[in-house]
């Protein structure tokens, strides 16, 4: 059974405690929404409790346990969600007191039958005490990115749900175009579902065709912009020169210029943080970026001095100003910027 099927099966039955985690948030968010909808609409706000905000990482253990031990209001059950928590890290003992951990473990050993406690962090350390306890007694589901087979199955199910008829050849073409399986792709399942919905709305006949797919600017095109930025700052001149004309033809040059400016700014920030002694992991946390992005950018950073980056940033700002004032054509401004980076 796939993770998606496990989550659907879990949402349809009663449970005391579950842990769902992973970078692919689509299925997790869908599962959480199903938990909400399982509650009586009239009293949903009272019986659905999120014990942390979008940005919190330290969970108030007393509040969590009190929420779990409270009886539902005019309903058979209540849902308590712990979403952005560091409870499942091995460093937990440094953050929470021993008493807090003991209290939480005691609750997990004997949870209230009318409460569904859902832990939904992005990452877990399987060596942590709480992970081992929940994995032994309850349901644990890992929702990391899908592999080729899993993604193909997921795409087939989404097309079926939307009553779209598609043959295997056309489906494979869609999978290739959407870019989800590309190395280091930032395309998510939510993005892909959005593209499938576009196809549903815009298809011209019952059976979806390759022509229908080609009419839409799918995610792979957007992904190409970010690949182009990577080529540019890695100084892969051959790939840059081979794709610049296509990028100018396919995208707003001001948009591409702004992405270049953003990348220069990011490299400058990483440079400063590294100079101040920050580790790669710390930089990822400070800048709210995934570790692989920082790793890639640090490789690019080796090709530039800080003064070179500052000069490029000033040039990018100047070109942006001149384009918006009508003093230079946007495509020419982009070419000037690209040539300067490649020759720098």
DSSP per-residue codes, 74-139: SSS-EEEEE-S--TTSTTHHHHS-HHHHHHHHHHHHS--TTEEEEE--S---TTSHHHHHHHHHSE
Instruction: Give domain limits for the chain.
Output: 3-142, 148-216, 222-343
Report the chain's mean pLDDT, rounded to a whole number.
Answer: 85
pLDDT for residue 217 is more than 70: no
pLDDT for residue 8 is more than 90: no
pLDDT the model gives residue 20? 92
Q: Which of 151, 131, 184 is nearest to 291 (CA)?
A: 184
CATH class name, domain 3-142: alpha beta
pLDDT for residue 248 is more than 90: no
Name the fold adopted by 222-343.
Zinc Finger, Delta Prime; domain 3 (1.20.272)
The pLDDT of 50-57, averaged and rounded, is 61
From CA 143, how far away is CA 122, in angstroms rounded?
A: 9
From CA 329, how far away is CA 324, in angstroms rounded?
A: 9
pLDDT tens, residue by residue, 257-289: 988 999 999 999 999 999 999 888 889 888 887
pLDDT the model gives residue 247? 80
The pTM score is 0.57
Helices (H), 111-236: 129-137, 148-161, 168-178, 189-202, 210-215, 219-233
pLDDT the model gives residue 3? 52
pLDDT the model gives residue 1? 43
From CA 262, how far away is CA 289, in angstroms rounded?
A: 14
Q: Which of 249, 177, 250 is nearest to 210 (CA)?
A: 177
pLDDT tens, residue by residue, 298-336: 999 999 999 999 999 999 999 999 998 889 998 899 999
Write out the two tokens for 2: 């796939």
* DSSP character at residue 45: H
The pLDDT of 14-34, averaged and rounded, is 85
Write out the two tokens for 254: 């001001």
Yes or no: say if 223 and 187 are a contact pair by the CB < 8 Å rule: yes
Q: Helix axis angle, 291-301 relative to 219-233, nearest 10°? A: 40
Sign of the Cα torsion 132, 133, 137, 139 reads: negative
Which CATH number applies to 148-216? 1.10.8.60
Percent of the chain topping pLDDT 90: 37
Tell me if residue 276 falls in helix, strand or coil: coil
pLDDT tens, residue by residue, 55-89: 455 678 899 999 999 999 999 999 999 987 778 88
């Amino acid at each position: 059974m796939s993770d998606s099927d496990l989550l659907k099966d879990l949402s349809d039955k009663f449970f005391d405690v579950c842990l769902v985690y992973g970078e692919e948030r689509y299925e997790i968010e869908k599962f959480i929404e199903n938990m909400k909808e399982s509650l009586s609409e009239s009293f949903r706000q009272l019986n659905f409790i999120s014990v942390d905000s979008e940005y919190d990482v330290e969970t108030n253990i007393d509040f969590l346990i009190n929420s779990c031990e409270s009886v539902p209001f005019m309903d058979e059950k209540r849902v308590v969600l712990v979403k952005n928590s560091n409870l499942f890290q091995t460093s937990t003992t440094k953050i929470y007191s021993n008493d807090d951990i003991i209290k939480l473990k005691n609750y997990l050993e004997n949870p209230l039958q009318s409460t569904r406690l859902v832990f939904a962090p992005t990452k877990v350390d399987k060596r942590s005490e709480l992970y081992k306890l929940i994995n032994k007694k309850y349901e644990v589901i890992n929702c990391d990115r899908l592999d080729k087979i899993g993604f193909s199955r997921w795409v087939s199910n989404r097309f079926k749900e939307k009553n779209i008829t598609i043959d295997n050849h056309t489906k494979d073409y869609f999978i290739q175009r959407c870019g989800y399986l590309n190395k280091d792709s930032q395309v998510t399942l939510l993005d892909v579902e959005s593209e499938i919905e576009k196809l549903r709305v815009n298809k011209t006949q019952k059976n979806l065709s390759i022509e229908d797919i080609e009419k839409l600017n799918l995610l792979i095109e957007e992904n190409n912009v970010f690949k182009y930025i990577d080529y540019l700052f890695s100084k892969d001149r051959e790939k840059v020169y081979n794709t610049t004309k296509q990028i100018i033809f396919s995208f707003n040059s001001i948009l591409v210029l702004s992405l270049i400016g953003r990348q220069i700014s990011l490299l400058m920030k990483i440079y400063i943080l590294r100079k101040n002694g920050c580790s790669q992991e710390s930089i990822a946390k400070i800048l709210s970026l995934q570790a692989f992005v920082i790793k890639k950018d640090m490789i690019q950073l080796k090709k530039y001095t800080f003064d070179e980056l500052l000069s490029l940033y000033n040039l990018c700002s100047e070109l942006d100003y001149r384009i918006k004032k009508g003093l230079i054509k946007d495509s020419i401004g982009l070419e000037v910027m690209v040539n300067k980076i490649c020759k720098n």
